[in-house]
Copies of this chain bind each other. A is one copy, B any other.
Amino acid sequence: MPAHDRTPTSSGFYVTEEAPIHAENPVPTPSSPAPDILRCAYMELVVTDLAASREFYVDVLGLTVTEEDDETIYLRSLEEFIHHNLVLRKGPIAAVAAFSYRVRTPEDLDKAVAFYTELGCRVERRKDGFVKGIGDSVRVEDPLGFPYEFFYAVEHVERLAWRYDLYTPGALVRLDHFNQVTPDVPKAVRHYQDLGFRVTEDIQDSDGVVYAAWMRRKPTVHDTAATGGDGPRMHHVAFSTHEKHNILAICDKLGALRRSDAIERGPGRHGVSNAFYLYLRDPDGHRVEIYTQDYYTGDPDNPVITWDVHDNQRRDWWGNPVVPSWYTDASLVLDLDGNPQPVVARTDASEMAVTIGADGFSYTRKDDAEGLPEYKQGEYKLGHQL
């Protein structure tokens, strides 16, 4: 979308109509129709110390155990009625085994098989599912190297939304989205548009370099996002709370447990998505976002928002710094044999490089030629070297 077709807003970003993305080296668009994805449904995480992970996700974050054994723990959020939103499986290397989406009908699995087969991807279908609680499932190594899963059949469990006796101050109520690190963001976006995703927001520079994009099936800002970086890797998985104070309560509890070092970034208000956020690192370093209050995106002509990569409020509306580890660290993803996918380096400019430090530039007000005021610059460039 050329910059001159963008409409500036009073909030500093631009809006456009969604348009086909141009990618240099695109994944072909299959002739087979895409499966009708409802929503991101669960992530399967491989963790190296199951007890430590259980303590983090159950004792600290308060997710509900649907089922567990010595190898695997199935967890769900309080408003969920399907078997799980997160699977923790014990394994030798911390990684992501599946980004799993629920589809609208059992027949959508046939479509998924045809769609990915046409793309030449490795596809595996199991009538009894890959994990407990889920029935007929298709797993693929997608064209970008991510382990994607699709399923419809699932065991129903009780939706505990009304069980306020079980709520903690930081109660997690829904799985909200995934976030994937990939070297070529336009290529990823174009492919996921083929899979039926709609773009809601992105970050670009004036040369049209795309640093990140957010894509949705359910009518929120995203079910997944593509973050530019060395990949395929998993950037984070996000759960929702009802209110902002729930997120603050998680921070307070981590402090009380003397585990504040699990807080990587935030809490804060995102520019992109307008949501309130917090990023944590689990015992294996897997990143978990806690997220609340983005906006409805379900209309077909929902305005696509483009943020300037140099806008210092794009990732934190309050202009607070993004810590470097947030840009650089991510989790490995597995192929269908359970081996880590090789990581390919990003060749486009990195968002961190163009915004932080000696080579970077950010502004609070677009017309401020000098970028950030001195003491905010200090925060990045001088202060922490003292």
Kindly supply a per-residue 1/0 record for chain A positions 102-123, scoring 1 wherever the CB is within 8 Å of any chain B CB and 0 otherwise: 1011000000000000000000
Interface centre among A165, A257, A321, A353 (most CB of B within 10 A): A165
Stretch at the interface among A135-143, A178-186, A245-253: A245-253
Number of copies: 4
Contact call A165/B11, Cβ cutoff below 8 A? no
Counting CB contacts under 8 A, is A49 at the interface? no
Q: Are A258 and B12 in contact (CB under 8 A)?
A: yes
Given A252-B164, A303-B159 in contact, is the A261-B376 Cβ separation under 8 Å? Answer: yes
A382 touches B324 (CB 8 A): yes
On whether the beta carbons of B242 and A269 are closer than 8 Å, the reply is no
Number of A residues near B (Cβ < 8 Å) is 97
Contacts of A306 in B (CB 8 A): none
Contact code string A339-360 (vs B, CB < 8 Å = 1, else 0)? 0000000000000110011100
A144: Cβ under 8 A from any B Cβ: no
Which one of A205-213, A229-237, A312-320 is at the B interface? A312-320
Alpha-carbon distance A317/B251, docked complex (angstroms): 8
0 or 1 for each of A88-108: is its CB under 8 Å from B? (1 = yes): 000000000000001011000
Residues of B within 8 A of A295 (CB): 79, 159, 161, 173-174
Given contacts A158-B10, A261-B376, A378-B323, contact A82 B255 (CB under 8 A): no
Q: Which residues of A contact B (CB under 8 A)?
A: 9-13, 15, 38-39, 79, 81-82, 102, 104-105, 156, 158-169, 171, 173-174, 218-219, 242-245, 248-249, 251-261, 263-264, 267, 269, 271, 274, 276, 281, 293, 295-296, 298-303, 312-313, 317-321, 323-325, 329, 352-353, 356-358, 364-365, 372-373, 375-376, 378-386
What are some 26 contacts across the A-B interface (CB < 8 A)? A11-B162, A13-B162, A79-B296, A81-B303, A156-B301, A161-B274, A162-B255, A166-B256, A167-B249, A168-B168, A173-B295, A242-B243, A243-B244, A244-B244, A251-B269, A258-B365, A260-B312, A260-B318, A260-B364, A261-B319, A261-B364, A323-B375, A324-B382, A352-B386, A357-B385, A358-B385
